[in-house]
Structure 1
Amino acid sequence: MPLAFHDFAHDLEYDQLPEQVLTVLRRSFLDTMGVAAIGSTTEMAAIARQGATALFGAGSAGAARVLMDGTPLSPAGATMAGAFTIDSVDAHDGTSPCKGHAGSAVFPALLAFADTRQDMRGSDFALLLAIAYEVSYRAGLAQHASCADYHTSGAWTAVGVATALARGLDASADAIRQAAGIAEYHGPRSQMMRCIEHPTMLRDGVGWGAPTGVTAAYLAQAGFTGAPALTCEDAPAYWNDLGTRWRLVEDTHYKPYPCCRWAHPSIDAARDLMRTNNLTHGDIAKVDIKTFHYATQLAGHRPRTPDEFAYSIAFPVAAMIVRGQLGAAELTNDTLNDPDILRISHATTLIDDAHLTKISAGKRWAQVTLTTTDGTVYASAPRTPRGDADDPLSDTEISDKFHLFTDPVKGHDQAHRTEQLCIRFDSLNAEAFSELLDLLLSPP
């Protein structure tokens, strides 16, 4: 008989977690905290902190500090501000089969919860992370298979957060089941394509989905009941192998660039064509990008805000062609107004390719053609982005990205210490894990 999700969450122990699961969680911890650091400097994060502070003061659940800021709020309030902070820079880990992200919801929720406790060890935190990621991914797959609309990650991460946090609260298996049902019912069924077509600070819905999951867990522990979570209980195809197969190992990807994953295969292709053929941006007259249907909605030939930059293809590809990189420096207003980048962005055509659409189910495909000013044509083969499980970023690349984002915010010494603790977080005793919390939850 298949393992019920609430029994899985209730009975799982740290020593049952495979090493592959822990490896992914360690990488995700470091990668996500780097994004949180640079995200904490954005206008979007500042507004979220202001709103959360106004509305979600600390209560009887205990104070939780806002990620990278230190303001004490309720667990739900700190989660809300933290989720918006991470989501403000689209460089966090994700899952291509779910077309979304779990870490941007899971980490701020569980860090806020951990901050209300005095004795949490790294192994305790790893257990909750594993539950939250795995339940989120499976709920996301079930939701995408059963709903006509493409909903944001906030819709299904609410379920994973609620399930894990209820376990953290030592809830019974039935109360964990109720928590998932409450979270799914109240979770934001926000339509992702609306934000892609009209990019704003709404982003991926985790700013409301994550605190919904936190609230659901506390309500369930107090006796509040919820309708069964359909994504967990009415979609057996996505749960039959729970406990024997780990979707978080198979499906988690990491981003080398701070923009929508759908743009990454095109960016990689353009980067390789430029380097292999010793081209400069002055050589480029025209860019053609064949890709899948959803990706062609990422127009963005002239983004005016960081939100529009995040949901574009033409402009990030042009930035890579001009600058040879796509990092923190490319998130500035100067980049948005760079005449060389704008010239190539406006010379870029997005082509909706039926074959690439068909095969872009668990993967994201694109093919790039560069035409030079003398008429020479350079074409890449169709490709998927770097960072997937079958083409992973190296530990060095993850570390370099972390320092690129964190050093300017926290300073190199504090960033280095944070990295040392993140990459072995699950082995930390309560004292060392408390030090890591202080590093992550304190202002720069």
Structure 2
Amino acid sequence: MAQAMHEFASGLTYEDVPEGMRALLRVSFADTMGVAAIGATTDMACAARKSSLRLFGAGSAGAARILMDGRAVSPVGAAMAGGFTVDSVDAHDGTTPNKGHVGSAVFPALLAVADAMRAEGRQIAGAEFLLWLAIGYEVSSRAGKAQHATCPDYHTSGSWTAVGVAVAVGRMLGLDGAGLRHAAGIGEYHGPRSQMMRCIDFPTMLRDGVGWGAPSGVTAAYLAMDGFTGAPALTCESEEAAPFWAGLGSDWMTLADTHYKKYPCCRWAHPSMDAAAELMAEHGLHHSAVARVEIRTFHYATRLAGHRPASMDELAYSIAFPVATMIVRGEFGAREMEEAVLQDADILRVSAATELLDDDEMTARSVDKRWAAVTIVTKEGARYEAAPRSARGDVDAPLTAQEMRDKYHMFADPVLGRARAEEIRALCLRFDSLDAAGFAGLLDLVLAAP
């Protein structure tokens, strides 16, 4: 390796972070807070907050407020509740090669620790917080790729973000290179090696594992600070992992891999949703004319299925129902996250008539992107086919700034009110320019109850 992980994490400065990475983190901050706002209203987030308050009282590390709630627990408890809050709505940023998500763990974990530090009198400027985020994102992205390449099972984001969170929080706590190595090793060893396809096959509130990956990483950093040992982290230091750490500090993997979601459901469904919506509009179809829908997609995606989801957790990990929703309603947003949508007779009819086909071509294509091809057949026998396509939101097919803004306000405004939502968004988009007082104000805005 040209530069070891612990050298990168201990020596990085704000000036070392390229402007492209800074811009990405500003966008991700706003995007994640929009998801957190609507996520705070879910049953999943409510349960996580109850358990956090029950189990994780504030200790000598300082009190940390729960994201979008305001009540104080320990940094570990706030990271857990915040992680589950963001993860409860599948609309946050992600990394396609890792088949997972970084920000849903890194943001709630680092916000929790920053708030605990603030409670203890530590002044934190926005540029400092951006530096810690950059470390958390880059280490997570690379550890995730290394893990996927060296482990036989497909693990959740919580398993590899635990490493990135541990290292970023370790830097926040002032650990040196040796301490950061131990933090990474503890986070990797004790992080949740949860199997993602279990939650795909049987969707529940377990989701993507970040609700336990975030607090695992926070705990690892504090353990390392107190002398607990755990190095090396194999995803960072093993011979097999070495190729994934090449160019560290000069080539930012986060910039190459991060995508944003337009719809609040598994991204594996997004190319089919876009294709179906375009076919309906292009051919002037009404959902009552649709006899059946065929979706050719990659193997993992066919296991999402979800023809008749019984809960929002099942809806989040489905394809047939979101595609049917796009055909019937022409959209899939905040209103489609209401329980009543699960009983929509028109959507259920189209969903039941949707067939998912495990396609070798789509599987071969779906490495750095996620591909699908959709055909709509009408009751009169007309057949309308869309060419294979990948999901929008990737680096080479980004959502527009207006789409990102609309998505944020669709989620945040009904929960926070337009004024508070707009203030949060405006500050997130320039958070690294805030002085300590300004950043403390931003913390107050995102951590307070709706």
Instruction: Indicate whether the TM-score tops 0.5.
Output: yes
C-alpha distance in 1, partners of 2:225/2:287?
58
Work out whether residues 183 and 231 of structure 2, in 8 Å CA contact, stay in contact via their aligned partners in 1: no
Partner of 1:17: 17
TM (norm. structure 1) is 0.99
C-alpha distance in 2, partners of 1:424/1:314?
39
C-alpha distance in 2, partners of 1:131/1:383?
33
**How far 1:359 moved relative to its partner?**
1.4
Q: Secondary structure at the match of 1:116?
A: helix
Partner of 2:381: 375
Partner of 2:206: 202
Partner of 2:195: 191
Q: Secondary structure at the match of 2:376?
A: strand
Partner of 1:276: 282
How does 1:64-83 map onto structure 2 within 5 Å? 64-83=64-83
C-alpha distance in 2, partners of 1:30/1:375?
46
**How far 1:241 moved relative to its partner?**
1.1
Work out whether residues 192 and 213 of structure 2, in 8 Å CA contact, stay in contact via their aligned partners in 1: yes
Partner of 1:413: 419
Amino acid at match of 1:321: I
How does 1:229-378 map onto structure 2 within 5 Å? 229-234=233-238, 235-378=241-384
**Aligned structure 1 segments of 4 or more residues deviating by more than 2 angstroms:** none
Amino acid at match of 1:4: A
1:133 aligned to 2:137?
yes
1:169 aligned to 2:165?
no
**How far 1:121 moved relative to its partner?**
0.7
Partner of 1:155: 159
C-alpha distance in 1, partners of 2:328/2:410?
20
Partner of 1:32: 32
Amino acid at match of 2:421: A
Work out whether residues 90 and 259 of structure 1, in 8 Å CA contact, stay in contact via their aligned partners in 2: yes
**What is the percent sequence identity of the aligned residues?**
63
Amino acid at match of 1:3: Q
Work out whether residues 63 and 74 of structure 2, in 8 Å CA contact, stay in contact via their aligned partners in 1: yes
Work out whether residues 13 and 127 of structure 1, in 8 Å CA contact, stay in contact via their aligned partners in 2: yes
Partner of 1:2: 2
Work out whether residues 181 and 231 of structure 2, in 8 Å CA contact, stay in contact via their aligned partners in 1: no
CA RMSD of aligned residues (A): 0.7
Question: 1:61-118 CA distances to partner (integer Å, 9 max, x unpaired)?
Answer: 0000000001100000000000000000101110000000011100000100111233
C-alpha distance in 1, partners of 2:159/2:385?
39
C-alpha distance in 2, partners of 1:344/1:251?
34
C-alpha distance in 1, partners of 2:257/2:152?
22
Work out whether residues 157 and 206 of structure 1, in 8 Å CA contact, stay in contact via their aligned partners in 2: yes
C-alpha distance in 2, partners of 1:322/1:435?
43
**How far 1:372 moved relative to its partner?**
1.1
Give aligned pairs, total: 444
Amino acid at match of 1:298: L
Stretch moving more, 269-278 or 197-206? 269-278
C-alpha distance in 1, partners of 2:278/2:427?
34
C-alpha distance in 2, partners of 1:90/1:397?
17
1:221 aligned to 2:221?
no
Work out whether residues 6 and 173 of structure 1, in 8 Å CA contact, stay in contact via their aligned partners in 2: yes
Stretch moving more, 114-123 or 399-408? 114-123
How does 1:24-63 map onto structure 2 within 5 Å? 24-63=24-63
Q: Secondary structure at the match of 1:304?
A: coil
Amino acid at match of 2:177: A
Amino acid at match of 1:222: D
C-alpha distance in 1, partners of 2:231/2:434?
38
C-alpha distance in 1, partners of 2:289/2:247?
52
Partner of 2:105: 105
Stretch moving more, 138-147 or 274-283? 274-283
Partner of 1:435: 441
Work out whether residues 65 and 72 of structure 1, in 8 Å CA contact, stay in contact via their aligned partners in 2: yes
Unaligned residue ranges in structure 1 (runs of 5+): none
Q: Secondary structure at the match of 1:113?
A: helix
Work out whether residues 185 and 227 of structure 1, in 8 Å CA contact, stay in contact via their aligned partners in 2: no
C-alpha distance in 2, partners of 1:333/1:181?
42
**How far 1:227 moved relative to its partner?**
3.5
Partner of 2:115: 115
Amino acid at match of 1:25: L
Unaligned residue ranges in structure 2 (runs of 5+): none
TM (norm. structure 2) is 0.98
C-alpha distance in 2, partners of 1:355/1:2?
37
Work out whether residues 281 and 322 of structure 1, in 8 Å CA contact, stay in contact via their aligned partners in 2: yes
Amino acid at match of 1:350: L
C-alpha distance in 2, partners of 1:16/1:144?
28
Choose which of 108, 111, 128 in structure 2 pairs with 1:124. 128
Q: Secondary structure at the match of 2:357?
A: strand
